[in-house]
Structure 1
Amino acid sequence: MNASTETGPRPRDWDIRPATETDWPAIWGILEPVVRAGETFTWDRDTTVDQARERWSTQAPGQTFVAVGRGDLDGVVLGTGELHANQGGGGSHVANAGYMVHPDHGGKGVARGLCAYSLDAARAAGFRAMQFNAVVESNVRAVAAWQSLGFEVLATIPEAFNHPQLGYVGLHLMYRKL
């Protein structure tokens, strides 16, 4: 699936595709340092590999996906994302997603590309909107990326996230219609 036409062309140095079973070691290699750092996700910093796999592995109509390098980085998993219904029952028409990028590949637009991919995938799966429940307000690069893709901050819950260096910071609730 290509990035949405409203978000521009797909970058030339990587592709995004659904994850396969063989991608898990690379996905864990991305998730583990992000989770251990405790700066951008609300996961317990001591999350085990099994807990992470259960939480990150998503079934239809959602999916788990990866950004895979081309050229010099051919086949290298640069980042990963997962898409799922935000709630069950009457709330199941709103998607939720998460993205993590390997620290060596941050700042190159990979997370933005993963988000654009998930917007297309969510739309194709019949979701009507996407909601992010907990975007750490100090993660300014992510907030700017999501806003550039049409998300708006609906609310900020003050001091809802205990950042390991900054102390208590807010969590944004972000939303966009598909």
Structure 2
Amino acid sequence: MKDLLIRSATEADFNAMWDIFHTHVAEGETYAFEPGISREEGYDYWFAPRASTFVAVQTLAPHDRRGRERVLGMCKLQPNQVGRGAHVANASYMVSPYAQGVGIGHMLGEHSIGEARRLGYLAMQFNYVVSTNEVAIHLWKRLGFAIVGTLPKAYRHRRLGYVDAYVMYRLLDDPARWPLPEPAPEEDD
């Protein structure tokens, strides 16, 4: 897609992000949020304190100095756990229904892997990939993720009822190159 870039999200992007988020949540097929989630809760999700949030934008008029853009998708990275699990990133992604099938999800996925490495994460984990979301599962496998666990009937799909959800994982670097953990403090006798 022409004139597409991925950049850090700002508050000014949230109206467009909310439209994408609200559409996906209302479909009830890929995210666990209830359709009645408030705009404020949606904002808090995408702009959580420990999150790095990005948008894929298309410049509407590349020669126009006003720089008008259209948000086509978004992703956020954050630690999957606190403390001793914070070296593993977690990520969430959404692409506008009007921009699906043109590679935006793939671009966001590649970008987030690079950003996760840049931010010092050693691995990435998706905690809850709905098993019927075949497009996402195929994309994550192409980007090196593997299904490492199945949560039986963990997702209440709007049309299909209870379906499985997957945990997907990938290393971002060879564990042999990971920094050594801090040694345990010595105990006094």
> What TM-score results when the alignment is normalised by the length of structure 1?
0.89
Which of residues 79, 83, 87 in structure 2 aligns to 1:89? 83
* CA distances 1:121-162 after superposition (whole Å, capped 9, x unpaired): 110010000000000010000000000000000011111101
For residue 76 of structure 1, give the secondary structure of its aligned residue in structure 2.
Answer: strand
1:20-31, aligned counterparts within 5 Å?
20-31=10-21
Q: Residue 129 in 1 paired to residue 123 in 2?
A: yes
1:54 to 41, 44, 57: 44
> Is this contact kept in 1: 2:129–2:137, CA < 8 A?
yes
The correspondence of residues 59-138 of structure 1 with structure 2, limited to 5 A, is 59=49, 62-70=51-59, 75-138=69-132
Unaligned runs of 5+ in 1: 1-10
Taking CA–CA contacts closer than 8 Å with sequence separation of 6 or more, which of the two structures ends up with the larger relative contact order? Answer: 1
Aligned equivalents of 2:92, 2:44: Cα separation in 1: 14
Of residues 66-75 and 167-176 in structure 1, the stretch that sits farther from structure 2 once superposed is 66-75
Measure, in 1, the Cα distance between the counterparts of 2:4 and 2:79.
27
What CA deviation, in whole Å up to 9, does each residue of 1:67-100 have, x standing for no partner? 0014669611000111100000110000000001
Whole-angstrom distance in 1 between the partners of 2:160 and 2:82: 34
The reply to whether residue 163 of structure 1 matches residue 157 of structure 2 is: yes
SS of alignment partner, residue 154 of structure 1:
strand
- 8 Å CA contact 1:58, 1:83 repeated in 2: no
Structure 1 segments, 4+ long, off by >3 Å, are 70-74
Q: How far apart are 1:58 and its partner, in Å?
A: 3.6
- Checking the alignment, whether the CA contact within 8 Å between 2:125 and 2:170 is kept in structure 1 is yes
- Distance between the aligned counterparts of 1:173 and 1:127, measured in 2? 18
- Larger radius of gyration between Structure 1 and Structure 2: 2
AA at the equivalent of 1:66: V
Q: Secondary structure at the match of 1:41?
A: coil
For structure 2, the 5+ residue unaligned runs are: 63-67, 173-189
Pair 1:17 & 2:7 matched = yes
Bigger drift between 139-148 and 17-26 goes to: 17-26
TM-score (normalised: structure 2) = 0.84
CA contact (8 A) 2:60 2:70 kept: no
Q: Secondary structure at the match of 2:69?
A: coil
What amino acid is aligned across from residue 58 of structure 2 in structure 1? G
The separation in 1 between residues aligned to 2:16 and 2:160, in whole angstroms, is 29
**One-letter identity of the residue aligned with 1:157:** L
- For the aligned residue pairs, the C-alpha RMSD in angstroms reads 1.6
What are the superposed Cα offsets for residues 43-68 of structure 1, whole Å, 9 maximum, x if unpaired? Answer: 122111000100111445x4111000
